[in-house]
A and B are shown apart, each in its own frame.
Chain A
Amino acid sequence: MYGKRSYVRHIPIAALIVFLSLFPAISGNRYYIGVMTNVGIYTIIVIGLNLLIGYAGQISLGHAGFFGIGAYFSGLLNVKLGLSPWITAIAALIFTAGIAYLIGVPALRLRGHYLAMATLGFGEVIYVILSKLDWLTGDTSGLPGIKPFSIWRLRFGSDFFMGQYCLAWVVVLAVLILSLNITNSRVGRAFRAIHGSEIAASGMGIDIAKYKVQVFVLSAVYAAIAGCLYAHFRWFIGYPSFHLQTSIRLVTMVVVGGLGNIWGAVLGAILLTWLPELLTVVEEYDIMVYGILLMGVMIFMPDGLVGIPNLIARIVSRTSPDMQMEEGK
């Protein structure tokens, strides 16, 4: 990682761009492109969650709440005040950051199970609030009438599915690059140091509370970005999209993809968004499947999808007779 020539570093990103460029041509199907757009939206949240859970070692079981706050705030400002989606999105990010800060400062004093419970509670509170908003939205099941993004005369509405695909993934790439930069810096090391040993981290001058709140707010803002994209890609958003189930799906994506590695977020989001599409049994029993996946990954491959190459290398070296002799030395 350190001292590597810069072109090696850029390979995964280049590969992703190539894949994304070829995908629409290969699938040729409006529906599949739509699924991939959703993959992009979830990837943004999962990157942020990975920073929080995988790098800094904290937990959030309520991140659908920030996803929902971003979507509803931007959507409401757009519908009620007629402001441009770009403006309402920025407002939503600021608003979500503020909420995340207010929740984060007290909540992040908690550890482990208590923090998990607090974030769970937060997610539930947001869900209930959103479900009771019909006096504001005029519709019992959600918010209708949301306008799409536009750049000059180009409208990124639901008919312009290629535009939505590109816009979503451009945002994902920007978030990805920014996050990779953060992780390869003293800030990223501070997050991981907190995960590794809070005592040593504070001994080395890292303000634990400050960094925990920072990563929490950052991950909430990522979720809000995704929420804005989600809202303005549709005409209507409904509160069931921001249920606890979504929070669990997101955490599963982080874990299955691979903790502590940003690329794990991409892989996890791809796998778990496509799985229900490809296997209907997954769609019907999705919570059960996610539970099994979570347990399985934690027990058998805790490094997630990202760790598969290492896992294979280890299995191969263990079964190879030459290596066994070397280890015996």
Chain B
Amino acid sequence: MRNLRKEFGGLVAVNDVTFQVQEGQISAIIGPNGAGKTTIYNLISKFYAPTAGQILYKQKRIDGFAPHEMADMGIARTFQNLQIMENMTVLENVMVGCHCKAGHGIIGSALRLPRFRREEKEILQRAMEKLTFVELESKASRPASSLSFGEQRMVEFARALACEPDLLMLDEPASGLSIREMEKVAELIYRVRDEGVTVMLIEHDMGLVMDISDVVTVLNYGQKIAEGTPREVQNNEDVIAAYLGNA
């Protein structure tokens, strides 16, 4: 993104932020609470429109599109405060992720046309595949609301993967997780990256971020204050001041 700026009324949430995410890398965005990290995600997901600036994806501007068109373009995300569909089972949640990969509509479904049958089978298969990837296949037919918080995070992860994205945006995937669950998240992110997906990560857990990221971008009060490898960022004075200053 270039010179991205987002204002909410008089509050400048994102101020002239420019950064690039390299394909095939794991990039992290960190910063104190309220620094604008999730706002940037929402700008990429098109839930907000930028007040100024551009967002480019694969060399093309994408700021004008609608939120639901992002999945088709290969961008999938998870949500900081979990947006699980509690009225559906675990498997159904993940199958929703496959929505963008199929095309049958009301008529096709009502009449059970061949395209519908074929695509439904594929959707079921792919959803089970992703559930198995996060090791939750045994809970497939449970209502999503009955799972633990950590498991629900995994379901959201699987759901995002079901879109078969090129860019996976994770918003605080480790928050609220135990150490063991966090290790599993790290392992999953590595495996996803190995399959060629570019990963973006918003995260507060410094251990996780420094361990797995290739690049770290630091935001504070809506502005980019540092960028570089984990080690470089860790030793950056502005970064240390930002975190300590905001205690």
Tell me if A289 is interfacial: C-beta within 8 Å of chain B.
Answer: no
Residues of chain A in range 44-100 having any CB-CB distance to chain B below 8 Å: none
Tell me if B100 is interfacial: C-beta within 8 Å of chain A.
Answer: yes
Once the chains are docked, how many angstroms separate the CA of A179 from the CA of B45? 32
Contact A197 B95 (CB under 8 A): no
- List chain B residues, Cβ under 8 A from A196: 84-88
Residue of B nearest to A179 (CB): B110
- List chain B residues, Cβ under 8 A from A171: none
Contact A2 B99 (CB under 8 A): no
Contact B109 A204 (CB under 8 A): no
Residue of B nearest to A197 (CB): B83
Once the chains are docked, how many angstroms separate the CA of A2 from the CA of B126? 14
Residue of B nearest to A183 (CB): B109
- The minimal Cβ–Cβ distance linking A107 to chain B, given in whole angstroms, is 20
Tell me if B224 is interfacial: C-beta within 8 Å of chain A.
Answer: no
Contact A185 B109 (CB under 8 A): yes
- The minimal Cβ–Cβ distance linking A211 to chain B, given in whole angstroms, is 9
Contact A181 B84 (CB under 8 A): no
What is the number of residues of chain A that contact chain B, defined by CB distance less than 8 Å? 31
Contact B79 A200 (CB under 8 A): yes
Chain A binding surface SS class: helix
Contact B66 A207 (CB under 8 A): yes
Once the chains are docked, how many angstroms separate the CA of A206 from the CA of B124? 18
Once the chains are docked, how many angstroms separate the CA of A186 from the CA of B72? 15
Contact B70 A181 (CB under 8 A): no
Tell me if B206 is interfacial: C-beta within 8 Å of chain A.
Answer: no
Contact B110 A199 (CB under 8 A): no
Contact A205 B116 (CB under 8 A): no
- List chain A residues, Cβ under 8 A from B162: 204
| Given the contacts A189-B96, A190-B96, A205-B68, A200 and B84 also touching, CB distance less than 8 Å | yes
- The minimal Cβ–Cβ distance linking A244 to chain B, given in whole angstroms, is 29
- List chain B residues, Cβ under 8 A from A218: 106
Contact B104 A186 (CB under 8 A): yes
Mark each residue of chain B from 95 to 107: 1 if its CB lies under 8 Å from any CB of chain A, else 0. 1111110101110
- The minimal Cβ–Cβ distance linking B101 to chain A, given in whole angstroms, is 8
Contact A193 B68 (CB under 8 A): no
Residue of B nearest to A198 (CB): B83
- Partner of B87 from the list A187, A205, A260 (CB cut-off 8 Å) is A260
Residue of A nearest to B81 (CB): A199
Tell me if A202 is interfacial: C-beta within 8 Å of chain B.
Answer: yes
Contact A186 B119 (CB under 8 A): yes
- List chain B residues, Cβ under 8 A from A260: 87
Residues of chain A in range 255-302 having any CB-CB distance to chain B below 8 Å: 260
Contact B106 A197 (CB under 8 A): no
- List chain A residues, Cβ under 8 A from B88: 189, 192-193, 196
Mark each residue of chain B from 153 to 193: 1 if its CB lies under 8 Å from any CB of chain A, else 0. 00010010011000000000000000000000000000000
Tell me if B67 is interfacial: C-beta within 8 Å of chain A.
Answer: yes
Once the chains are docked, how many angstroms separate the CA of A3 from the CA of B71? 27
- List chain B residues, Cβ under 8 A from A308: none
- If A200-B79, A200-B159 are given as contacts, then 10 extra A-B residue pairs at C-beta distance below 8 Å, sorted by A number, are A181-B111, A190-B96, A190-B99, A196-B87, A200-B85, A200-B156, A201-B85, A202-B68, A203-B77, A207-B66
Nearest 10 A/B pairs, CB to CB: A196-B85, A205-B71, A205-B100, A185-B109, A200-B83, A202-B67, A178-B110, A197-B83, A202-B68, A207-B68
**Taking beta carbons and an 8 Å cutoff, which residues of B are in contact with A?**
45, 47, 66-72, 76-77, 79, 83-88, 91-92, 95-100, 102, 104-106, 108-112, 116, 119-120, 123-124, 141, 156, 159, 162-163
